[in-house]
Structure 1
């Protein structure tokens, strides 16, 4: 069974999660048709529940999602009722009382309910199309809470980890050429990047922007430079980016930065990713829930640019 989750229920702030799951037995069952269905279901769920897709990639045997759960108080009663009716497939149904309304509000802001519904719908479709039955995914999905702030480049690192999946798999040399990832959607002007202006304010200090679209463009430039190895993003400006891209020979296969570091299980087998202060805060808050018998500390490596993780409880080693 997968480890316990660290989940926040926040009325006044957004929460971000990296979500991962794999097909049982490592089978390569996600072809183009399956990946397109996964993508369709993922974005369709945004209208019924309360989440936003920040990043995603669908590979042949697994997927990664970066999900933003907005603050619960951002949704008024009218919008909440609309989503309830969509969920119930009934345009006239109403909440019985305020308790039912608030329970539904909490449910559609819960990462377990959101991803559980997404996976269930896909498995039902998959079994019907392929005349199969039983479990498709190997276990419960993994989820890590991600710090999104100016104090840590955790968001950029997690996005790079997601975007570089098809590069590590040697499917493409540049993620912009992989259809089933958010990076190519961003460059095509899709809805996936509609929150990028918020990240501009965190990671593009020193760059001037005229409007939201300009902020989105600059953030995408900074993110691409980050994937390529530019570590000066804290003080980056338009000239720094221009100089950096002139140094990169885009006519050759891109030498993506620290692929091995991006690949490590640091991202998908922990509970929290962020600055040391962020991880310690969650450690203090959730230690009792985890019922750990040994002391846990934020974990990092020299190459991780002061990004820390909170590792789950280790399983006992097998006798053999």
Structure 2
């Protein structure tokens, strides 16, 4: 966890969105696994699993290097090509390059350092400010990588917006790992799978989300757990007993498609096919669009005229 200078509430929605994307981007570069996270207006939490350092191929090194520069300048493009040619040439220089890159991977301190520095540069440039953004070095807690300690820490992080009084249900806060998992963002679902792997081994995404939701509402309804707002006991009882942690289909679908691309059509495959010609003509498409089943859940015969956005929070 790390806070802004003086705990100032600096981050608006756009800032949180950029930081959210950077968390996933830098984690991929660093080789760490994000289990869940939460970005608030003056701090953020991230729960990561750090694998042991391992050999990384030159091809993978270059892929990760380019992750840091997804839209490179001409200089950065040239730099990447030079780096790649030196790796291919081998020798002492190639060994030194590998060491410089690998030392930044599989290390939580390097992950946080890169993340905080890159976001600080972006934030200062975007808001015409200068100087430090973060108050201090990040605070870290070593968590047992299985069972109740790991699940409790994940729930604590995902409940941050509830305790702050921003939402009554953590699925409605778009800048946390649980909300991304409910929207079926693949990496977020994988993160929660890792949290629950010892309890619901071999289970599908629905079972993992149900287990995590039960825990969130159980923990969130305990006022002695953490200071701040709590989930009402009535709502917790409804989620845990009546719904057994499962989101109603209508609610789950809303979370999945809250950010449709303009012009998408939702319905049965037969219904959508009746509008394909008009949709194609209106947009001047050369080829007719495909009718795709709605993915990421048990939606029955629901389909969409074009694939749902993967970046549902973008």
Regarding TM over 0.5, the answer is: yes
2 CA distance for matches of 1:129 and 1:81? 28
Give 1:49 shift. 2.4
**Structure 1-normalised TM-score?**
0.59
2:210 pairs with 221, 225, 228, which one? 221
Contact 1:196 1:215 in 2 (8 A): no
**Structure 2-normalised TM-score?**
0.60
Contact 1:57 1:162 in 2 (8 A): yes
Contact 2:30 2:107 in 1 (8 A): no
Is 1:55–2:70 an aligned residue pair?
no
Q: Which has the higher contact order (CA 8 A, sep 6+)?
A: 1
Alignment of 1:1-320 (within 5 A): 20-73=1-54, 75-84=56-65, 90-93=80-83, 94-95=86-87, 96-98=93-95, 100-149=97-146, 152-190=147-185, 191-204=187-200, 214-229=203-218, 244-246=240-242
Cα distance change on mapping 1:201 and 1:25 into 2, 3 Å: closer
Give 1:161 shift. 0.5
2 CA distance for matches of 1:249 and 1:84? 40
1 CA distance for matches of 2:47 and 2:56? 21
What is the count of residue pairs matched by the alignment?
213
2 CA distance for matches of 1:32 and 1:75? 36
Cα distance change on mapping 1:60 and 1:40 into 2, 3 Å: same
**Counterpart position of 2:291:** none
Q: Deviations over 1:269-311 (max 9, x none)?
A: xxxxxxxxxxxxxxxxxxxxxxxxxxxxxxxxxxxxxxxxxxx
Q: Which moved more, 1:159-168 or 1:82-91?
A: 82-91
Give 1:196 shift. 3.8
Q: Which runs of 5+ in 1 are unaligned?
A: 1-19, 231-241, 252-320
SS in 2 for 1:202: coil
Q: Deviations over 1:106-133 (max 9, x none)?
A: 3211211111111111111111121111
2 CA distance for matches of 1:38 and 1:22? 13
SS in 1 for 2:9: coil
Cα distance change on mapping 1:42 and 1:247 into 2, 3 Å: closer
**Counterpart position of 2:302:** none
Contact 1:56 1:181 in 2 (8 A): yes
Q: Deviations over 1:220-258 (max 9, x none)?
A: 21111122228xxxxxxxxxxx9943288999xxxxxxx
Cα distance change on mapping 1:221 and 1:74 into 2, 3 Å: farther
Q: Deviations over 1:186-235 (max 9, x none)?
A: 00001211244444430226xxx5xxxx43221221111122228xxxxx
Bigger radius of gyration, 1 or 2?
A: 2
2 CA distance for matches of 1:128 and 1:184? 29
2 CA distance for matches of 1:114 and 1:86? 14
Cα distance change on mapping 1:85 and 1:227 into 2, 3 Å: closer
Q: Which moved more, 1:73-82 or 1:158-167?
A: 73-82
Q: Which runs of 5+ in 2 are unaligned?
A: 69-75, 88-92, 220-237, 248-314
Q: Which moved more, 1:91-100 or 1:102-111?
A: 91-100
